[in-house]
Structure 1
Amino acid sequence: MSKKFEIRREVVVPGTPEQIWAAISAETAGWMFPSPLEIPADGSRPDSPVIATWEPPTELGIHMDGPDGWFNHLEYLVEARDNSTAVVRYVHAGVFADDWDNQYDGASKHTDFYLHSLGQYVRYFAGQSATYVSAEGPEASGTPAAMATLRSALGIGSDTAVDDTVTFDVPGFGTITAVVDYLNDWFVGLRTDDALLRFYGRNAFGGNVDVAHHLFAAGADGEAASAGWKGWLDGVYA
């Protein structure tokens, strides 16, 4: 049975409203996933029926309707604060058709991670073009212990904390040294000089562990990176 949901968050982001506006409208590949919206080069309102509100740099609303009362609504309100920071008030509302509690729990936890990644992008990589890559782990990464296996492969121990540094090897990429910027039972966020590396424990919500990374190095080969991380995940869970 379908049922409505609403997720609300308020976060402080280290950046200006203009930087945050660019991130949530045109640069989503740098912290979440690529947007299907085509933003005109001059930053004007896209010619899309899903744009509900377009008030740069303070208010963005996206609304999609579907059959049988289905809808999906996203809203960002950005307010400048002192010391080059801003408050972002975020709303995600819509309808879940099945397994409401599990879907809501997963969406809520993903929201916290995405908004954290927004802050990391604006603070460290604002305005930089990103190559977005993703890869899904094998069936073995869908077990309850899968995230513990992943953390071990990343060099994350029981005493590892945010702001610690980890080092691990990825075939085809060599040794990666990264700062831990997010860490809990469901997600791992790592930051290097030219990437945000995101690891999702979707095994907790009926899926597999997977990765979605944001590469800022010039000339990054997305296909090769995706294949490389897929191979790494397969090896971790072999």
Structure 2
Amino acid sequence: MSKNFEIRKAVVLEATPEQVWRAIATPEGQAAWSPDPYQAKDGMEVEATENERLVVRTPKAENGAFHAFEYLVAADDDSTTSLTFVHSGYLGDDWEAEFDFGEMSGYGWDMYLHTLAEYLKHFAGRPANFVTAQGPPSSATPNSWATLEKALGVEGPFEQGQNLRLTPQGLPALEGVVDFAYPAFVNFLALRTDDGLYRFHDNSAMGMPQAVGHYIYAAIDRQATEQAWLDWLERVFS
């Protein structure tokens, strides 16, 4: 399996180039949709042409691994903007994982770019908080997804446009619509509510625990909310 990779995606967004640029190029915007908006940017190489092109490259690790993220922004008309996204790089001399990194990451970017589109369409201009939590190591098994669904009071597979009510014990119930769905073989739940985009991830195919990654467009105590979801995952898989 090749250690070099390139993932290329294109989306049309209901926003101006200026709105798209704010979402991809500022910390406040990245908190609304990206996978790791609070990651330190120390050592990153950045090339930027405002409202047109952004490239971010990570430093090269000792094993040769690096990642590059390129965003190309182009206005279509007064109401839509095209975004081309390219994630490329090298996984390192010692990469030996059994899963296909490009395929799995490609599924991830489909979801994150859809989240960007949903944010710009439904929540643009509102404050954004990214809340993430990971379950204990015991939740890294294939049957753990069924346990998580049961704890939410639902059972998949889920279809885009489906109305759902989630009831995580000890947390407020969540009511909304399934805004994104993967192929049936990928376990994932995405719910759009009045105040956010809530995401539940089955990472067991990569040998990793179940996880949540929520984008909440309201004034909240982010750390306390993150701790509440972490505690919930611990209870579910205790």
Shorter-chain TM band: 0.7 to 0.9
Q: How far has the Cα of 1:106 moved from its partner?
A: 2.4
1:34 counterpart residue number? 37
Q: 2:96 is matched with which residue?
A: 99
Superposed CA deviations along residues 58-80 of structure 1, whole A, max 9, x for unmatched, are 21111223145432211001122
C-alpha distance after superposition, 1:110-142 (max 9, x if no partner):
111111111111111223221222111122321
Letter in 2 for 1:62: V
CA–CA separation in structure 1 for the residues paired with 2:44 and 2:135: 35
Instruction: Determine if the alignment matches structure 1 residue 223 to structure 2 residue 223.
Output: yes
Cα deviation per residue 1:34-67 (whole Å; 9 max; x = unaligned)? Answer: 25478xxxxxxxx97611x211212111122314
One-letter code aligned to 1:165: N
CA offsets 1:154-186 (integer angstroms, 9 cap, x no match): 344346421222112234433221221122323
Alpha-carbon deviation of 1:197?
Answer: 1.0
Q: Aligned runs of 1:1-238 on 2, under 5 Å? A: 3-26=3-26, 27-32=29-34, 33-36=36-39, 50-51=45-46, 53-66=47-60, 67-82=62-77, 84-97=79-92, 98-99=95-96, 102=99, 103-158=101-156, 160-184=158-182, 185-218=186-219, 220-238=220-238
Question: Can you give the 5+ residue segments of structure 1 that lack an aligned partner in the other structure?
Answer: 39-46
Once residues 205 and 174 of structure 1 are traced to their aligned partners in structure 2, the CA distance between those partners, rounded to angstroms, is 30
Name the % identity: 36
Contact 2:154 2:166 (8 Å CA) reproduced: no
CA distance in 2 between partners of 1:207 and 1:74 (Å):
24
Change (3 A) 1:210 1:68: closer
Report the 3-state secondary structure (helix = DSSP H, G, I; strand = E; otherwise coil) of the residue aligned with 1:57. Answer: coil
- Letter of the aligned partner of 1:153 in structure 2? A
**Bigger share in strand:** 1
Over aligned residue pairs, what C-alpha RMSD do you find? 2.5
Offset at residue 233 of structure 1 (A):
1.9
Q: Which TM-score applies when normalising by structure 1? A: 0.85
Gaps spanning 5+ residues in structure 2: where?
none
Cα contact 1:72–1:92 (8 A) shared by 2: yes
Q: 1:211, CA displacement in angstroms?
A: 0.7
Deviation string for 1:10-49 (max 9, x for gaps)? 12222221111111111111112325478xxxxxxxx976
Specify the code of the residue in structure 1 equivalent to 2:204: N
With normalisation by structure 2, the TM-score equals 0.85
- Matched-pair contact (CA < 8 Å) for 2:170–2:232: no
Contact 2:5 2:102 in 1 (8 A): yes
Q: Deviations over 1:197-235 (max 9, x none)?
A: 1112111111011011112212x0112211211222233
CA distance in 1, matches of 2:231, 2:110: 28
